[in-house]
Amino acid sequence: MKELLDKQAKTQFEFYAAYYPPIYAKYKAYTLNELIDGIRKVDGLSIFYHVFHPLFSSHVVPEDMHNDFATWIRDELGDSLLAQTVSDIEGKEPKTVEDVRNELINILSEAKIERRANKPFYFITCKPVIYKTGKVAKTLGEFIDIIASISVRSIAYHFVFKRVMGYEVKNDFSKWLEENYGLTNVSSKLSSIDPQTHTDEEKLREDLLKIFEEEVVRK
């Protein structure tokens, strides 16, 4: 593998990163039905914000809940079981925000909760601000080194955002590894990571690096 690590890629990988400034989406829910209605109506970026953006530690969710919907259902509607199901909803490849939206609606539509929340769920959407990080990988070795040290904002943009928004079918990292080095096994292992269940960005980075360590560096 050493030779492969130093081998020049056909196309270099340019690392971008993004922030997602939140915008009030003009929907709020006090009841389960209103929550379902909101989930139906908001744009895909709102689903991204509430379900995948908690990947960043700055987006606070309780330690045992993976997304905003689950947190609200537990804290305001008082249904822990439903909250856990919503918390663990699948978001790995090839699921997009539209798949997640449909699954959420299906799960919530089967629940029967009459309770009205004291505090509403405020739907928030966002607009990404994408910027160049200035980091470029020309070899596989450089690629792994950059992932180990770059802002997690960049990892989230390439590995999560573009794919879950449906702008790409596969995450950028897997795509690049396949196209430049034919590493389909590494690619599919990366694709099997579910970012929806990550609420600590550094843990996501660790999981990515572990695959590189086991499947590339040590081989």
Contact residues: other proteins, CB under 8 A: 17, 19, 21-24, 26, 57-58, 60, 62, 122, 124, 127, 129, 131-134, 150-151, 153
Nearer to other proteins among residue 132 and residue 138 (C-beta): 132
Nearer to other proteins among residue 167 and residue 184 (C-beta): 167
Task: Report in angstroms how near the CB of residue 178 gets to other proteins at its nearest.
Answer: 28
Task: Report in angstroms how near the CB of residue 25 gets to other proteins at its nearest.
Answer: 8
Nearer to other proteins among residue 116 and residue 219 (C-beta): 116
Q: Alpha helices of 63-151 — where are they, by DSSP H? A: 68-76, 80-87, 97-110, 140-149
Nearest in space to 38 (alpha carbons), one of 16, 13, 74, 68: 68
The Cα 212–Cα 210 span in angstroms is 5
Task: Report in angstroms how near the CB of residue 58 gets to other proteins at its nearest.
Answer: 4
Neighbours of 172 (CB within 10 A): 21
Q: Which residues of 78-91 are buried (b: 16+ CB within 10 A; e: fewer)?
A: ebeebbebbbebeb
Task: Report in angstroms how near the CB of residue 193 gets to other proteins at its nearest.
Answer: 22
